[in-house]
Each structure stands twice: as structure tokens, then as C-alpha cells.
Amino acid sequence: MKYVLFLSFLLSIKCFSQDTLAVSDLKNSAKLLDVNFTDKEIEMMYPDIKDNLAEYKKMHLLKLDNSVGMSMIQMLSPLPSTAQKEITWTYNKTIKRPNNINDLAFYNINQLGSLMRNKSITSTELTKFFIQRLKKFGDTLHCVVSFTEDIAMQQAKQADELFKKGIDKGPLQGIPYGLKDLFSIKGTKTTWGAQPYKDQTIEVDAYVYTRLKEAGAVLVAKFTLGALAMGDYWFGGRTRNPWNLEKGSSGSSAGSASATVAGLVPFAIGTETHGSIISPSHTCGATGLRPTFGSVSRTGAMALSWSLDKIGPICRSAEDAATVFAFIHGTDGEDACAMNDAFNYSPKKDVKKLKIAYAKNYFEKLDTSSQEWTVIKQLKKLGLDIKEMNFPDSEAYQFDMIGMVIGAESAAAFDEFTRTDLDDQMTKQNRYDWPNYFRTARTIPAVEYINTNRHRVLLMKKINAVMKDYDVVITPSFEGKQLSITNLTGHPALCMPIGLNKQKVPNSITFLANLYQEEDLLLLGKYFQEHTDYDDVHPPMFK
């Protein structure tokens, strides 16, 4: 405990300013942490520690009343009390198998499910088709860590047998998909995308895999992620953007987005701590759902930040995202943050009854001819009443709150990784990579981490108060500090493509909703995509 108090004192006393912080101070302080940093490591840490000190000073200017509590896990709104209703799934009885089987690559979940129910194709045939596409294009995109072919063929066979017996588990039965390779599955490697763990096995079936297995879905592959869930660089290279192979897919759910958009799977599962679903969905042109924090149990998933990590589907449409989320949301009781919240999605609900607004303070920074403004114009033309609102930004987020939280929690999650020098095996070793990030974060004092979370409580209250007046708020995906803010508060988001930009790569829009109200996001997303063709445009080299 003494070392924490010492560092807090060292970084907070008035005479110890940013200008007098010396490299030698860091080396001496490390001894109190029971960590051995080399001269090169300390030199790399030094500018970031100075930056952290500047952020502490910003936070110290903000008043915190003694009555403000701390968000150790999350303090959201009161738990949902709505009972879960049965969702009615419908299928197309007239759909036929396409003459060109390659057209199946971009069929949605409902279309593929209808074909199986019409006996036009079997899950086994469908599974072989997508495995062949993965083998053909997987190396092009660098999106596959490992194939799960044996598991896939067994699950496909089971799905076919159930169909023959007249047993229907729902729309995911027989549908192939992929998992981000930070989810463990018995008998498979779970690499976390990182060189030190490339041969790691964890004999636990992740909750999300178990739920999809129970729904009859077919796991065909485990997809790439940036090493330890950062970016799109993994131990095998860099995951590519299906629209431009010279660019990365962004991350960290890199392979999940890239493979889905390229039609190598109908859908995939990703995770987000600070943009890891939204960013690759935006970059690749996927429809990604980041659910409310705690909506999906994280059992069997690599932990990066306990109070921020979330699990969600990456698809090609909002309708598919709703279908997948309906079967993965909930908890097994093993994740202390997760709960069984109701997801009462109804695609036939009147979308015009939704209270919708757009974040004027973000949109006014954009040219009125921008693709984002076009979305607002299109929705108004469709008869929706779109109000204006101002989304709290810099006035609510005055210092690097999410950096403090991720820093402290991720460094704790990978404590031994740093102390035992396992970090030296990581492929990337630059200033903004995990090894240096974890080392630097070890100097965040406990007091500053706790008070950051107390400020987070105030942020949650402020965003909840603003959001309660609307069902959906529309915002540019990366304008202002919205992404950091809503990840901290746990609000759900839906990122959807809105066409290619001037660089001929995808652009996106993001819808936000109140906590536990994913059905509102997905209803509006489905309506928007039914009346536009953005989600029907696919990268030409993979058709």
C-alpha cells in the first residue's frame, strides 16, 4: 500500500511539476512497484507519464462533493423490469436457391434460413460453401486465426438432422458464423491475437459460444483481433480492409468486420472496450451493434477492462444484428456485471412513434453536403420527426477519463504479463502499443483511478438525463467525444454504413439509445436500411 501512497504523493505535490519530472524519478519509483523497467522502457514511458500528470491536474480543478460515490463496476440506470416476450420469426416460403451459388455470400440470415426451411439447401452445404470462401479469401484479408472445421461440420449435421425431425430452434439454426479469437472454446486455441499466447488453450466454452450453439448456429472460424484487443495488427500480420487491401480493417474486432463485409460469413461476434465494434464496422462498412454494458455475459472472453468490455454482433444489416442479439443477450450468472435484460424486438412496431433527435452540436461541424447530413435529410423525407438536441461533450468530459479507466484496469488485467517480461514477446513495441501502455499505467495512483470513476458517476447521470427525452439520438460516428462518453456510460450504439467517402472506403452513422433499449436502435436501423441501399453495396473483389 505504501507504494501507491508514495506515487500519489510524488505525482501530486505542488513542487513536483511536469517540468521537474525526471527520468531518474521513474527508475527509482519502479523499485517500489516490484517491477524492473529497463532504461529503454523508462525512456519510452516518460512522455506518457508527463501526459498523465497533465490529466491529473485537469481533474484536480474539478470539484467532487463528498456525496458522490464510485463506479467500481458500473452504475447505470435502475435495472430493467420489463418481462421478456416471445419474438415471432417469419421466413420467406417462396425464396429459391440462386442459380449462381456465389450469390449466397451476401444473403442475409433470414434468406439463408428460409432456403434451409424450404429444403433448397442444407446447413452442411452452406457450411462447406462459407468454409471454402474463407479458405479462398482468408489469406487475402488476413482475417482468420484458425478454422473450426470439425466443430462446424458436426454442428451443421446436427442442424440438418433437427430440420428433418421438424425441430426448429429459430433463425440461427444452421447458419455459419465466426468468433473473435478472444473467446475460449474447449479443444481450440485461443490466441488473443498476440504472439505470447499463440499456442494458448483455455478449456472453457465462452458464454456467447454456448448461446449460439444452443441456437443451432455453426462456428466455422475464429477471427483475428489486434494483439490483446488493440488495433488490427496481430501476430500473423495486419487484417485488411475488403474495400482497399492497402488499408487495415481497424480494430480490435478486425477479422470479424472484414470477413463479414467480404461475405465470408453471414455474421460474426466482436467486442468493444473503446470503439472495437464501432471502428471496424465504420471502416469496413459493417452494421455493428454495441449493446448496453452488461447485456451479454463475458464468461470465457479475455478481460481487458472489467467496467468497459462489451460483446456484440457484427453483421451486414440491422435486421441480422437484431436476430443475433436476441440469442446472445443475457447471463449465466458468472459475470458479475451481466444481467438478463428483456429484448422485446418487434420489426412491425411503428417506427414513426419513436422520439428521434440528432446531435446538432456535432452535425454543425460538418459540411451540409456531407453523407451524415444526408442521413438526416433522408429520414425526414421518409416522414420521421427529427428534433435537434445538444449532446454533452467537452463540458461533461473534461479530462481523459476513459484513458485512466482502461489504463488502470488493463494494467491490472495483464499485471503478470508486465512483471514477468512476457511483454517483450509482443510483435509491436512502440510507444502506443500495449507493452508501454501497461508499464505507464502502473504509475496511475489509486486515488486518481477512484476519483476518475466518481467523475464517471456524474457523467452517467448527465447522459442519462439528456437521453431520457429521446428514444434514439443520431450522431456522426467519430465527432467529438461521443464514443468515449457512451462507452463509459454503457449506452448502446448501432453503427451502419452510409456509402463510400471520397477515398472510396466506407463512411458510417451511429444511432444511440437509452440503456437496455437496443430494440429502438434496431427498429430505426432496419427502417433506414429498408429505404436506402447502403447495406446492399458490397466490395467488388469478393463478389
Q: Is pLDDT above 80 for 532?
A: yes
pLDDT of residue 28: 80
Do 109 and 46 have their domain in common?
Answer: no
Catalytic residue among 29, 71, 114, 180: 180
DSSP 8-state assignment for residue 83: P
Question: 311-370, pLDDT tens digit by residue?
Answer: 999 999 999 999 999 999 999 999 988 999 899 999 999 999 999 999 999 999 999 999
Do 46 and 126 have their domain in common?
Answer: no
Residue 176 located in a structural domain: yes
The CA R_g of the chain, rounded to the nearest whole Å, is 23
Arithmetic mean of pLDDT, 199-226: 98
Residue 444 located in a structural domain: no
Do 125 and 264 have their domain in common?
Answer: yes
249 and 264 Cβ atoms separated by less than 8 Å: no
Question: 368-402, pLDDT tens digit by residue?
Answer: 999 999 999 999 999 999 999 999 999 999 999 99
Question: 26-37, pLDDT tens digit by residue?
Answer: 878 777 767 788
Do 23 and 172 have their domain in common?
Answer: no
Q: Is pLDDT above 50 for 8?
A: no
pLDDT of residue 36: 83
Arithmetic mean of pLDDT, 107-131: 98
Residue 286 located in a structural domain: yes
Rounded distance between C-alpha atoms, residue 269 and residue 222, angstroms: 10
pLDDT, averaged across the chain: 92
Q: Which of 53, 69, 85 is the last residue of a domain?
A: 53
Residue 434 located in a structural domain: no
Beta-bridge partners for 362: none
pTM for the structure as a whole: 0.93
**Percentage of the chain surpassing pLDDT 90?**
84
203: containing domain = 101-391+463-532
Do 4 and 134 have their domain in common?
Answer: no
pLDDT of residue 139: 98
Range of lowest pLDDT (37-41, 407-411, 482-486): 37-41
Residue 2 designated active-site: no
Catalytic residue among 252, 258, 295, 484: 252
Q: What angle do CA 16, 21, 26 make, to 5 degrees?
A: 115
Catalytic residue among 184, 276, 281, 410: 276
**Percentage of the chain surpassing pLDDT 70?**
93
Confidence of residue 11 (pLDDT cuts 50, 70, 90): very low
288 and 250 Cβ atoms separated by less than 8 Å: no
Nearest to 208 by CA among 343, 87, 327, 340: 327
Do 45 and 114 have their domain in common?
Answer: no
Residue 359 located in a structural domain: yes
CATH number for position 140: 3.90.1300.10
Neighbours of 81 (CB within 10 A): 7
Question: 472-507, pLDDT tens digit by residue?
Answer: 999 999 999 999 999 999 999 999 999 999 999 999
Residue 413 located in a structural domain: no
CA distances from 97 to 94, 101, 235, 300, 308 (A): 10, 8, 39, 37, 43
Residue 89 located in a structural domain: no
Arithmetic mean of pLDDT, 237-259: 98
Question: 260-315, pLDDT tens digit by residue?
Answer: 999 999 999 999 999 999 999 999 999 999 999 999 999 999 999 999 999 999 99
Residue 276 designated active-site: yes
Residue 419 located in a structural domain: no
Beta-bridge partners for 315: 287
Arithmetic mean of pLDDT, 518-526: 98
Beta-bridge partners for 512: 473, 493
Do 45 and 183 have their domain in common?
Answer: no
Beta-bridge partners for 475: 510
Do 154 and 48 have their domain in common?
Answer: no
Do 237 and 108 have their domain in common?
Answer: yes
Task: Say which residue, 382 or 14, is predicted with more confidence.
Answer: 382
Instruction: Give the total number of structural domains in the chain.
Output: 2
Residue 256 designated active-site: no
Question: Which set of grid coordinates corresponds to residue 397?
Answer: 468530459
Do 105 and 46 have their domain in common?
Answer: no
Arithmetic mean of pLDDT, 93-109: 96
Do 39 and 137 have their domain in common?
Answer: no
Q: What angle do CA 98, 101, 104 make, to 5 degrees?
A: 80
Per the listing, cell 447495406 goes with: 535
pLDDT of residue 203: 95
Do 270 and 207 have their domain in common?
Answer: yes
Question: 46-79, pLDDT tens digit by residue?
Answer: 999 889 888 988 988 998 776 666 555 554 555 6
